[in-house]
């Protein structure tokens, strides 16, 4: 294994940097800018059983040290992802990819995960029980330990590939949710998704996005995300993927020192499409600065 290499649930990644779902499309869009095979992997756009148009516009707005979004899981549906998106991706990305799955019922999650589990290109299933931007789905399951466990257990019964449960920070006790998922058979945990937030336009006297509230992400949430990653990583025995406001190579190392096995980068892809590539390039220099020989040797404090 190389200096930056890590193992993620039995699959070796060249480095721990993973663009987060919803910020990297299905990959081939970014492949027009640089060779995306430099990435460890990436989590593709949240996929549901049926096609979704998403929420009304405006649904993305910049704010101090971050952004608010309420895209609403716009995607073509799992059948179109398998027949159209994955073949296009295969031409430009030659590594296992992470499939991000959302749903509005346990049956939805089961159907979509079972379909994607059969695809050779997919290495992991990241099951999103944390989306704050849709009514009656996603975060509804992620705020209750029993519901989170129910989804986990149901998905594990129909899949062979590693299942990573993606958690919401919009809870009082995220550790209880993580432990419930672990006990139900989850292979890994990823966190955090966006925080529920809002802003008001003083000129129009209306919320800046049509959905009123949306997911707040960006550098402003990094300290909170780091705290939650630390808490969960020290409470479970399965690998944790950390995310939330990551914007630099230093942030990646902090996440790994807090207990993350790999690190996802979200909002920054929308402000700097080269951010993941540049962080990977800079990691060895920052590792040298802090006396870190190999990432695989890095132990959480």
Structure tokens, 18? 């993973």
Q: Respond yes or no: is residue 181 known to be catalytic.
A: no
Q: Report cis status (omega within 30 of 0) of the bond before 192.
A: yes
Please give the Cα distance from 241 to 261 (Å, whole number).
6
Q: Which residue has the tokens 């031409």?
A: 91
Residue among 162, 180, 170, 89 at smallest CA distance from 126: 162
Residue 268 vs residues 40, 145, 255, 278: alpha-carbon distances, Å: 17, 30, 16, 12
Please give the Cα distance from 271 to 257 (Å, whole number).
26
Q: Which of 63, 113, 131, 181 is catalytic?
A: 131
Q: For 42-92, give the DSSP string.
A: -BPPPB-SS-B--SPSP-EEEETTEEEE-----B--HHHIIIIIHHHHHTT
Which residues are known catalytic residues? 131
């Amino acid at each position: 294994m190389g200096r930056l290499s890590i193992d993620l649930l039995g699959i070796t990644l060249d480095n721990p940097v993973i663009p987060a779902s919803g910020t990297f499309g299905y990959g081939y869009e970014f492949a027009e800018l640089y060779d995306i095979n430099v990435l460890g992997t990436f989590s593709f756009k949240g996929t549901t059983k049926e096609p979704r148009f998403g929420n009304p516009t405006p649904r993305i707005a910049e704010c101090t040290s971050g952004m608010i979004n309420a895209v609403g899981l716009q995607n073509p549906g799992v059948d179109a992802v398998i027949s159209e998106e994955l073949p296009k991706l295969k031409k430009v990305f030659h590594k296992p990819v992470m499939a991000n799955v959302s749903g509005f019922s346990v049956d939805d999650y089961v159907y979509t995960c079972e379909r994607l589990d059969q695809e050779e290109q997919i290495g992991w299933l990241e099951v999103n029980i944390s989306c704050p931007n849709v009514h009656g789905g996603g975060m509804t399951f992620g705020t209750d330990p029993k519901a989170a466990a129910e989804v986990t257990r149901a998905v594990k019964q129909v899949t062979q590939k590693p299942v990573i449960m993606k958690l919401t920070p919009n809870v009082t006790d995220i550790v209880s949710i993580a432990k419930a998922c672990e006990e139900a058979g989850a292979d890994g945990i990823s966190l955090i998704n966006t925080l529920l937030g809002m802003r008001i336009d003083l000129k129009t006297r209306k919320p800046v996005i049509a959905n009123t509230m949306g997911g707040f992400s960006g550098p402003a949430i990094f300290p909170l995300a780091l705290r939650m990653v630390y808490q969960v990583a020290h409470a479970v025995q399965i690998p944790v993927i950390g995310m939330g406001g990551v914007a630099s190579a230093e942030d990646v190392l902090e996440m790994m020192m807090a207990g993350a096995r790999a690190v996802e980068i979200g909002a920054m892809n929308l402000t700097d499409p080269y951010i993941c590539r540049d962080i990977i390039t800079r990691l060895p220099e920052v590792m040298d600065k802090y006396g870190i020989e190999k990432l695989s040797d890095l132990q959480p404090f």
